[in-house]
């Protein structure tokens, strides 16, 4: 019996990516593709999981219910970086391997971070005089795949770049022409722009608090292409209220978006739907990597990108 690889994407990949994933499956006998796109109820994902041997998801929620429904399910690949949407404990309990595809969509996210910075620096293209990125300070909060690319692009814009990442050796950051700081406090107090690239987990949720944001220099801009949960919304509201020079840009609106847009329309911007990885290139890179990882796991037991060890 052939193995079913389910692509379950509430926010679909570009058609070109799905075609290429299908081409990989067609080249490998013994696998078939099932597609669940733009579903509206979580129950549809639970239902589809019942028939799947492997699942490719994006920000779709692989909850305990989904995982437990998958009687044949052996592997879940998050086509992307963050895997906070997978119940890893539930997967491990059932012996299911969970993986991500690190780096595959990073350039798209980095370009969006810089794009949003320009959009805000130019007053959302309102025709009035704005400001430039050249010469400004930018702090990269976490120097992983995306952070490194943001630094690279920012360098091209002539920005002064700082980074904080306790998991990366100083010399590996410094060789990119980026100055290392050794605390979040130092990063925020030094940089007019801060670009967030930390994952969402129990340690980081709400960790970007009022104190850090208040310490940022004049005309501070926080750019969040990570996860909305890492920013403390109560603190953010106070900072936007107390600092008329503070701006917040986020890929995926915070829960209090409506209130913030109502009060500070000129100083906040939120993408309507998570857009960071939404390019044809990123979809192809992450989607094809995901299907190849699934086949490598079934054929060779390759667990290189496993995240629930
Ligand atoms: C990621 O973690 O890779 C990004 O947040 C992209 O998420 P998406 O695939 O839902 O667009």
Helix axes 145-156, 106-121, angle to 10 degrees: 50
Closest residue to atom 10 of ligand 1, CA basis: 59
Q: State if pTM tops 0.95.
A: yes
Q: Which CATH number fits domain 106-270: 3.40.50.720, 3.30.565.10, 3.40.50.2000, 3.20.20.70?
A: 3.40.50.720
Residue 66, pLDDT score:
98
* pLDDT-based confidence at residue 21 (cuts at 50, 70, 90): very high
* pLDDT-based confidence at residue 309 (cuts at 50, 70, 90): confident
Query: Tokens at residue 120, please?
Result: 């805000």
pLDDT (tens digit, 9 = 90+) per residue, 79-94?
A: 999 999 999 999 999 9
Q: Look at residue 259 and tell me whether its pLDDT is greater than 90.
A: yes
Beta strands at 75-78 and 31-37: parallel, antiparallel or unpaired: unpaired
Closest residue to atom 3 of ligand 1, CA basis: 80
Query: Could you identify the atom of ligand 1 that is nearest to the CA of residue 275?
Result: 11
Residue 158, pLDDT score:
98
* pLDDT-based confidence at residue 176 (cuts at 50, 70, 90): very high
Residue 87, pLDDT score:
98
Beta strands at 193-196 and 137-141: parallel, antiparallel or unpaired: parallel
290-304: average pLDDT: 98
Integer angstrom CA distances of residue 64 from 45, 60, 250: 12, 13, 28
Q: In sequence order, what are the residues at sequence separation of 6 or more whose Cβ sits closer than 8 angstroms to the Cβ of residue 77?
A: 54, 55, 56, 57, 98, 99, 100, 101, 290, 291, 293, 294, 305
Integer angstrom CA distances of residue 45 from 7, 65, 68, 288: 10, 10, 12, 21
Closest by CA position to 212, among listed 237, 233, 239: 239
Edge-first strand order for the sheet with 137-141 is 179-180, 160-164, 137-141, 193-196, 221-224, 247-250, 268-270
Q: Look at residue 107 and tell me whether its pLDDT is greater than 90.
A: yes
* pLDDT-based confidence at residue 304 (cuts at 50, 70, 90): very high
Q: What separation in Å is there between the alpha carbon of 167 and the centre of ligand 1?
A: 22
117-136: average pLDDT: 98
Q: Look at residue 1 and tell me whether its pLDDT is greater than 90.
A: no
270-296: average pLDDT: 97
Q: Look at residue 34 and tell me whether its pLDDT is greater than 90.
A: yes
Query: Tokens at residue 211, please?
Result: 């104190």
Do domains 3-104+278-300 and 106-270 share one topology? The answer is yes
- List, in sequence order, every beta strand (DSSP E) within 122-267: 137-141, 160-164, 179-180, 193-196, 221-224, 247-250
Ligand 1 pocket test, pick from 225, 277, 287 with the greatest ligand atom count within 8 Å of Cβ, gives 277
Residue 200, pLDDT score:
96
Q: In sequence order, what are the residues at sequence separation of 6 or more whose Cβ sits closer than 8 angstroms to the Cβ of residue 178?
A: 140, 143, 151, 161, 162, 163
198-221: average pLDDT: 98
Query: Could you identify the atom of ligand 1 that is nearest to the CA of residue 251?
Result: 5
Q: Show me where the domains of the chain are located.
A: 3-104+278-300, 106-270
Counting residues of the chain whose pLDDT is more than 90, the rounded percentage is 99
Ligand 1 pocket test, pick from 9, 17, 18, 105 with the greatest ligand atom count within 8 Å of Cβ, gives 105
Residue 237, pLDDT score:
98
Q: Look at residue 39 and tell me whether its pLDDT is greater than 90.
A: yes
Residue 185, pLDDT score:
98
Report the pocket of ligand 1 as residue ranges, CB < 6 Å: 11, 58-59, 80-82, 105, 274, 276-278
Q: What separation in Å is there between the alpha carbon of 81 and the centre of ligand 1?
A: 6
pLDDT averaged over every residue in the chain: 98
- Looking at domain 3-104+278-300, its CATH architecture is 3-Layer(aba) Sandwich (3.40)
Counting residues of the chain whose pLDDT is more than 70, the rounded percentage is 100
Residue 223, pLDDT score:
98
Q: What separation in Å is there between the alpha carbon of 173 and the centre of ligand 1?
A: 24
55-74: average pLDDT: 98
Query: Could you identify the atom of ligand 1 that is nearest to the CA of residue 101?
Result: 3
């Amino acid at each position: 019996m052939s193995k079913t690889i389910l692509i379950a994407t509430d926010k679909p990949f570009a058609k070109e990516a799905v075609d290429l994933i299908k081409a990989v499956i067609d080249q490998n006998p013994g696998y078939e593709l099932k597609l669940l796109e733009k579903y509206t109820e979580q129950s549809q994902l639970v239902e589809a999981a019942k028939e799947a041997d492997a699942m490719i998801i994006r920000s779709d929620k692989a909850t305990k219910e989904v995982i437990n429904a998958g009687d044949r399910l052996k592997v879940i690949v998050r086509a992307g970086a963050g895997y906070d949407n997978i119940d890893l404990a539930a997967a491990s309990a059932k012996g299911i391997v969970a993986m991500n595809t690190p780096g595959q969509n990073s350039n798209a996210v980095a370009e969006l971070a810089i794009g949003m910075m320009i959009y805000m620096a130019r007053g959302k293209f309102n025709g009035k005089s704005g400001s430039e990125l050249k010469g400004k300070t930018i702090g990269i909060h976490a120097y992983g795949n995306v952070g490194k690319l943001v630094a690279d692009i920012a360098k091209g814009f002539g920005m002064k770049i700082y980074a904080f990442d306790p998991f990366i050796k100083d010399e590996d950051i410094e060789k990119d022409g980026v100055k290392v700081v050794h605390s979040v406090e130092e990063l925020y107090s030094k940089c007019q722009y801060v670009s967030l690239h930390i994952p969402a987990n129990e340690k980081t949720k709400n960790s970007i608090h009022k104190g850090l944001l208040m310490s940022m220099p004049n005309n501070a801009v926080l750019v969040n292409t990570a996860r909305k949960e890492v920013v403390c919304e109560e603190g953010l509201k106070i900072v936007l209220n107390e600092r008329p020079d503070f701006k917040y840009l986020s890929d995926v609106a915070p829960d209090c978006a409506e209130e913030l847009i109502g009060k500070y329309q000129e100083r906040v911007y939120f993408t309507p739907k998570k857009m960071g990885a939404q390019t044809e290139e990123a979809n192809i890179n992450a989607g094809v990597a995901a299907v190849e990882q699934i086949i490598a796991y079934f054929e060779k037991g390759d667990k290189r990108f496993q995240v629930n060890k």
